[in-house]
Chain A
Amino acid sequence: MSQLLEVNGISVTFDGFRAINNLSFNIGPAELRAIIGPNGAGKTTFMDIVTGKTKPDEGKVLWGDMSRNLVGMNEARIAQEGIGRKFQKPTVFEDQSVEENLLMALRNARGAFSVLFWRPTDADMTRVRELAAEIGLANELSRKSGELSHGQKQWLEIGMLLAQEPKLLLVDEPAAGMTPEEREHTTDILVEAAKTRAVVVVEHDMEFVRRLNCKVTVLHEGSVLAEGSLDHVTANQQVIDVYLGR
Chain B
Amino acid sequence: MKRALIIALATLCLGTQLLAQDTADPAPDTDLGPMQQVLQENAELIVESSRRTIGPAIDAVANSELEAASFVLETWAAREMYQRTSDGLFFAAEETGDDIFTLTDFDSGDVVGESPDDDLEQIKPNSGIRGLIGTALVSFQLNDPDPEKREDAISSLERRANADLLAPLRASIEPETDPALRARKIRTERLLTIAYDPDEAARIAAIEEMSGDLGVDVRATLNPLVATTIRAYPDGVPDDVNVAYTLRPGSDELPRMDAYAMTDGPAIVSPDDIRAALQANIDGGSVGGIPVAQLSDPARREAAYAALAEAGTVPPRPTEADIDAALDATTFAAIYAEPSAAVTAAAEDALSAIDTNVGFNQMLDLGLDALSLASIYFLAAIGLAITFGVMGVINMAHGEFIMMGAYTGYVVQQVIPNHTTSIIVAIPLAFAVTFAAGVALERLVIRWLYNRPLETLLATFGISIALQQLAKNIFGTQARPLTSPDWLGGAVVLNDVVSISTVRIAIFVLALIFLGVFLFIMKRTRLGLETRAVTQNPGMAGAMGINPGRVNMLTFGLGSGIAGIAGVAIGLYAQVTSEIGQAYIVQSFMTVVVGGVGNIWGTLLGAGLIGTLHKGIEWFNPSNTLAAQTYMIIFIIIFIQFRPRGIIALKGRAAGD
Q: A-side interface residues toward B, CB under 8 Å? A: 14-15, 17, 19, 45
Contact = CB atoms under 8 A, between A and B. Distances in A.
B654 interface: yes
Contacts of A45: 653
Nearest to B653: A14
B651 interface: yes
9 A-B pairs with least C-beta separation: A14-B652, A15-B652, A15-B651, A14-B653, A14-B651, A17-B652, A15-B654, A14-B654, A19-B653
10 contacts: A14-B651, A14-B652, A14-B653, A14-B654, A15-B651, A15-B652, A15-B654, A17-B652, A19-B653, A45-B653
Nearest to B651: A15
Interface string B616-657: 000000000000000000000000000000000001111000
A244 to B, nearest CB: 27
Contacts of B652: 14-15, 17
A17 B652 CA distance: 9
Most B CB contacts (10 A, CB to CB) among A15, A17, A19, A45 go to A15
Interface of B is mostly: loop
Contacts of A17: 652
A26 B265 CA distance: 91
A88 to B, nearest CB: 14
Contacts of B651: 14-15
B8 to A, nearest CB: 99
A192 to B, nearest CB: 34
B288 to A, nearest CB: 65
A161 B652 CA distance: 28
Interface of B: 651-654
Given A14-B654, A17-B652, 8 more contacts: A14-B651, A14-B652, A14-B653, A15-B651, A15-B652, A15-B654, A19-B653, A45-B653
A19 B653 CA distance: 10
A14 B654 CA distance: 9
A85 to B, nearest CB: 17
A14 B652 CA distance: 5
Contacts of A15: 651-652, 654
A77 B411 CA distance: 61
A76 to B, nearest CB: 18
Contacts of B654: 14-15
Nearest to B652: A14
Contacts of B653: 14, 19, 45
Nearest to A44: B653
Contacts of A19: 653
A30 to B, nearest CB: 33
A45 B651 CA distance: 15
A221 to B, nearest CB: 16
B656 to A, nearest CB: 13
A11 B653 CA distance: 15
A25 to B, nearest CB: 20
Nearest to A19: B653
A102 B288 CA distance: 86
Contacts of A14: 651-654
A164 B654 CA distance: 31
A36 B652 CA distance: 23
B649 to A, nearest CB: 11
Nearest to A54: B653
A15 B653 CA distance: 9
A15 B648 CA distance: 13
A94 B651 CA distance: 31
A45 B653 CA distance: 9
A145 to B, nearest CB: 21
A97 to B, nearest CB: 24
A19 to B, nearest CB: 8
B590 to A, nearest CB: 26
A105 to B, nearest CB: 27
B642 to A, nearest CB: 16
A222 to B, nearest CB: 13
B248 to A, nearest CB: 57
Nearest to B650: A15
A14 B651 CA distance: 7
A19 B654 CA distance: 12
A123 B491 CA distance: 81
A105 B472 CA distance: 54
Nearest to A12: B652
A8 to B, nearest CB: 23
A15 B651 CA distance: 6
B233 to A, nearest CB: 70
A33 to B, nearest CB: 24
Nearest to A45: B653
A56 to B, nearest CB: 14
A15 B655 CA distance: 11
A104 B45 CA distance: 112
A134 B652 CA distance: 39
Nearest to A17: B652
A130 B41 CA distance: 132
A57 to B, nearest CB: 12
A14 B656 CA distance: 14
A3 B350 CA distance: 78
B352 to A, nearest CB: 53
B452 to A, nearest CB: 15
Nearest to A13: B652
B567 to A, nearest CB: 38
A17 B653 CA distance: 10
A19 B651 CA distance: 13
Nearest to A14: B652
A45 B652 CA distance: 11
A240 B654 CA distance: 29
B643 to A, nearest CB: 16
